[in-house]
């Protein structure tokens, strides 16, 4: 049973389509993971990391309703279990199978829940999940900016994508819990802030700062702000769809994972357009805002920075982010983990995966030849130095994390049974369910 702080990394598995669905951007392929996955798991262990954000490629695994090809997942997840690496399973990372189409498909939520259930039944020893990665960003890039998948650019398309993506996440959590009652869900969502450039920009900045919470508000069954309620209904969400989210509160099974990069803060002009502001508030201030809203345990689920000409740019960013994590923790926020994302360099994120240029982005703990970068050495040392200092913080989790090697132990089965009984206990339902919308 693990009570350790969740030092993690991830293996980048984005797979959106571009060029109106004609091309698939498969980061597992571009980064060489299909060929080097055993080596990649070696690297995880070399760093002293026990937790890995990782998931099977949905577009080659989910072949149709009730049809799956588990061959790659069987190999890789079998090896993770053998090595006792705890996966935080990322089931949908910016893309869907060709046969599903895109995030405008109203059948997607139910189909994805079937996929999540099938995965959890095949790998019942898996406990930690991020069913849909960065729900807000996925909807924004696919249906508001017109960059990926459906490549639409309207508020109506954005709301449609958002409601289907978040509903898919909620239904997937429900399906997984029916198989694994003690499952924990670590949302990985971009944490944003919008700064008004001048007085005329205050109102549009306020609207954007309300809009940034939409995915998590819906996912956690929290009433959205009044202006956002009007925005959702004006752009195609029905009252019934909205009430589905209010009534489907699984917040007590969740850890709020938030991602922070230098690009997460924005300057807002009077016309509502934005430009990057760079780091102004930083992770500490913005995470406090999100925690104040949702009151959940927190995990820093993504950050990175390019290694530049001096070779220490990413190292300095790592230490800055870690200092922010410690500040958040010392201010009383129950923060349970930290992640440098990803294990290796990535490809074509300089164009946000909009173009297949083959440009290597030096963001990883290792380069694509699997040589460790300075930030990899720094992270390895950080983990070594801090691993034994922080475990007590994670007792905020009422459900223990069961290591893969422990999943068949008698006490582990007892914990799962207790979690299942707790789900059936209706006496706590009023305390865990939002009151109806007036």
Model pLDDT for residues 70-120, shown as the tens digit of each residue = 999 999 999 999 999 999 999 999 999 999 999 999 999 999 999 999 999
The 10s digit of each residue's pLDDT in 273-311 is 999 999 999 999 999 999 999 999 999 999 999 999 999
Q: What pLDDT, on a 0 to 100 scale, did the predictor assign at position 395?
A: 44
pLDDT band at 415 (very low <50, low <70, confident <90, very high): confident
Average pLDDT, the chain: 93
CA angle 306/304/252 to nearest 5° reads 165
Residues 6+ apart with CB under 8 A from 363: 304, 305, 306, 307, 314, 341, 342, 345, 346, 349
Rounded-to-integer distance, Cα 378 and Cα 383, Å: 9
1 has pLDDT over 90: no
Token pair 């997984």 in the structure block, residue: 176
Tell me if 328 sits within 8 A of 367, measured CB to CB: no
pLDDT band at 2 (very low <50, low <70, confident <90, very high): low
> What is the maximum span of the chain, computed from C-alpha positions, in angstroms?
63
In this structure, of 110-119, 135-144, 401-410, 417-426, the range with the lowest mean pLDDT score is: 417-426
205 has pLDDT over 50: yes
Domain 6-432 CATH (choose: 3.40.640.10, 1.10.287.180, 1.10.1740.10, 3.20.20.80): 3.20.20.80
Rounded-to-integer distance, Cα 112 and Cα 96, Å: 9
CA angle 216/383/125 to nearest 5° reads 60
pLDDT band at 412 (very low <50, low <70, confident <90, very high): confident
Q: What pLDDT, on a 0 to 100 scale, did the predictor assign at position 437?
A: 44
Higher pLDDT, 397 or 196: 196
Rounded-to-integer distance, Cα 50 and Cα 81, Å: 11
| pTM greater than the 0.85 cutoff | yes
pLDDT band at 433 (very low <50, low <70, confident <90, very high): low
Domain ranges for the chain:
6-432
The 10s digit of each residue's pLDDT in 153-191 is 999 999 999 999 999 999 999 999 999 999 999 999 999
In this structure, of 5-14, 18-27, 387-396, the range with the lowest mean pLDDT score is: 387-396
């Amino acid at each position: 049973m693990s009570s350790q702080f969740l030092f993690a990394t991830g293996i980048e598995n984005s797979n959106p389509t571009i060029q109106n669905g004609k091309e698939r951007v498969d980061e597992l392929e571009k980064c060489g993971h299909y060929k080097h996955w055993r080596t990649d798991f070696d690297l995880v262990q070399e760093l002293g990391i026990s937790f890995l954000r990782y998931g099977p490629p949905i577009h080659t695994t989910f072949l149709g309703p009730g049809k799956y090809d588990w061959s790659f997942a069987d190999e890789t997840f079998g090896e993770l279990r053998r090595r006792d690496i705890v996966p935080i399973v990322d089931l949908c990372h910016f893309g869907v199978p060709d046969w599903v189409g895109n995030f405008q498909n109203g059948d997607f939520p139910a189909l994805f829940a079937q996929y999540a259930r099938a995965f959890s039944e095949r790998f019942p020893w898996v406990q930690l999940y991020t069913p849909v990665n960065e729900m807000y960003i996925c909807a924004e890039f696919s249906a508001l900016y017109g960059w990926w998948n459906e490549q639409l650019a309207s508020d109506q398309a954005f709301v449609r994508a958002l409601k289907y993506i978040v509903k898919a996440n909620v239904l997937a959590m429900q399906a997984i819990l029916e198989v694994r009652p003690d499952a924990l869900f670590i949302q990985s969502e971009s944490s944003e802030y919008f700064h008004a450039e001048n007085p005329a920009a205050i109102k549009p900045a306020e609207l954007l700062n309300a809009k940034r919470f939409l995915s998590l508000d819906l996912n956690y069954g929290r009433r959205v702000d009044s202006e956002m309620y009007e925005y959702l209904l004006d752009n195609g969400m029905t009252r019934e769809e909205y009430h589905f989210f209010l009534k489907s509160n699984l917040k007590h099974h969740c850890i709020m994972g938030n991602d922070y990069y230098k690009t997460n803060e924005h300057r807002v002009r009077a016309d509502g357009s934005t430009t990057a502001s760079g780091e102004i508030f930083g992770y500490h201030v913005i995470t406090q805002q999100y925690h104040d809203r949702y009151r959940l345990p927190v995990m820093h689920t993504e950050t990175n920075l390019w290694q530049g000409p001096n070779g220490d740019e990413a190292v300095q960013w790592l230490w800055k982010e870690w200092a922010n994590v410690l500040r958040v923790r010392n201010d009383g926020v129950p923060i349970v983990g930290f992640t440098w994302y990803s294990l290796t360099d990535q490809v074509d994120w300089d164009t946000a995966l909009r173009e297949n240029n083959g440009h290597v982005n030096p963001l990883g703990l290792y380069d694509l030849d699997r040589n460790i970068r300075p930030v990899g050495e720094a992270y390895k040392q950080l983990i070594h130095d801090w691993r034994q200092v922080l475990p007590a913080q994670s007792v905020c989790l009422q459900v223990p994390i069961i290591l893969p090697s422990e999943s068949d132990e008698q006490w582990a089965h007892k914990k799962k049974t207790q979690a299942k009984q707790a789900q059936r206990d209706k006496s706590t339902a009023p305390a865990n369910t939002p009151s109806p919308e007036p």
